C-alpha cells in the first residue's frame, strides 16, 4: 500500500466529505456527491498530469495553474459548459475554505485558489408574458367569490410590484419590467426600480425585446418609404 505523502490534505478531504458536509452543514446526499465527484475528478487529473499515484499528491500541487488546467480539461475532454466549470470551481473553493478554517497552515493554499476566476456565463434572456397574456390571466379569477378576489389581488401584487420570488411567479417580475421598458421607461430607471446592482443585469430586457426592435425597424422603414414616396411626386 502506497504511503500518503500529504496526510493533512487527505485527512481534510475525508473530514470535509464525511463530517463537515453531512453532520455540520447538514448537506443533502446529492450535494455531498457533487463535492465528492469534483474532488475525485481533480485528484484524478493531477495524477495524470504529474504521472504519480494518488497517495503522492500534495497541497502544493493543487495550485491555481493546476486548477485552471483542470477546468480547461473539463471543457475540452468532457464538453462541460461554463456553468458546470464554475460549479466545479465553487466546490473546490469550498473545500479549500474549509481546509483553511480547520488548519491555518492551509490558508496559503486557499489564497492560491482564489486566483482562479470563474468562467463568464452569457446572460439568458428573461421569459416574460405579453400584456395580453397578463390581462387574460387577471380576468380568470371569479371576483364574485372571496377566493377569486384573493387570487386576483396576489396576481396584481406580483405584477405591479415586480416582486422578487426563487420559483415560477418570478415571471410576473420579468413581465412587469419588460412592459415598462416597452412603454418607454429608460433602462436606467428600470434597473433602479428592480433594485439591480449593475445596469448590465437589466440589459437582458433590451436584448430579449424582439417586438420592440420590430416596431422600431418598421418605424424607420416607414419614414424612409414615406420620404422616397414624397420625393418621387
One domain, residues 73 and 105 = yes
- Considering the domain boundaries, does residue 118 fall inside one? no
Nearest to 206 by CA among 227, 226, 186, 225: 186
- What single DSSP character describes residue 103? -
Distance CA 208, CA 124 (A): 9
One domain, residues 160 and 78 = no
One domain, residues 155 and 198 = yes
One domain, residues 98 and 138 = no
One domain, residues 164 and 199 = yes
One domain, residues 156 and 92 = no
One domain, residues 207 and 158 = yes
CA dist 188 → 171, 172, 183 (Å):
21, 20, 14
pLDDT band at 2 (very low <50, low <70, confident <90, very high): confident
| Ranges 156-160, 179-183, 196-200: which has the least confidence | 196-200
pLDDT band at 167 (very low <50, low <70, confident <90, very high): very low
As for how many domains the chain has, the answer is 2
pLDDT of residue 229: 54
CB neighbours of residue 232 within 10 Å = 6
Q: Is the pTM of this model over 0.85?
A: no
Share of the chain above pLDDT 90, in %: 54
- Considering the domain boundaries, does residue 125 fall inside one? no
Distance CA 6, CA 220 (A): 69
Cβ-contact 83, 121 below 8 angstroms: yes
Amino acid at each position: 500500500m502506497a504511503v500518503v505523502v500529504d496526510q493533512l490534505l487527505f485527512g481534510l478531504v475525508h473530514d470535509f466529505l464525511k463530517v463537515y458536509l453531512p453532520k455540520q452543514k447538514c448537506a443533502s446526499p446529492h450535494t455531498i456527491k457533487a463535492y465528492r465527484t469534483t474532488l475525485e475528478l481533480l485528484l484524478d487529473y493531477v495524477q495524470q498530469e504529474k504521472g504519480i499515484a494518488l497517495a503522492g499528491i500534495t497541497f502544493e500541487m493543487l495550485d491555481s495553474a493546476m486548477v485552471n488546467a483542470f477546468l480547461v480539461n473539463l471543457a475540452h475532454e468532457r464538453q462541460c459548459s461554463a456553468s458546470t466549470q464554475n460549479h466545479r470551481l465553487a466546490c473546490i473553493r469550498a473545500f479549500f475554505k474549509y481546509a483553511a478554517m480547520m488548519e491555518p497552515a492551509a490558508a496559503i493554499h486557499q489564497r492560491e485558489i482564489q486566483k482562479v476566476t470563474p468562467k463568464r456565463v452569457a446572460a439568458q434572456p428573461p421569459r416574460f408574458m405579453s400584456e395580453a397574456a397578463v390581462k387574460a390571466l387577471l380576468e380568470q379569477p371569479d371576483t364574485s367569490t372571496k377566493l377569486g378576489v384573493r387570487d386576483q389581488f396576489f396576481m396584481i401584487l406580483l405584477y405591479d410590484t415586480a416582486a422578487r420570488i426563487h420559483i415560477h411567479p418570478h415571471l410576473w417580475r420579468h413581465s412587469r419590467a419588460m412592459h415598462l421598458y416597452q412603454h418607454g421607461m429608460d433602462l436606467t430607471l428600470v434597473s433602479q426600480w428592480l433594485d439591480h446592482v449593475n445596469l448590465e443585469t437589466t440589459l437582458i430586457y433590451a436584448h430579449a425585446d424582439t417586438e420592440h426592435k420590430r416596431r422600431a425597424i418598421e418605424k424607420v422603414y416607414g419614414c424612409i418609404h414615406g420620404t422616397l414616396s414624397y420625393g418621387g411626386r
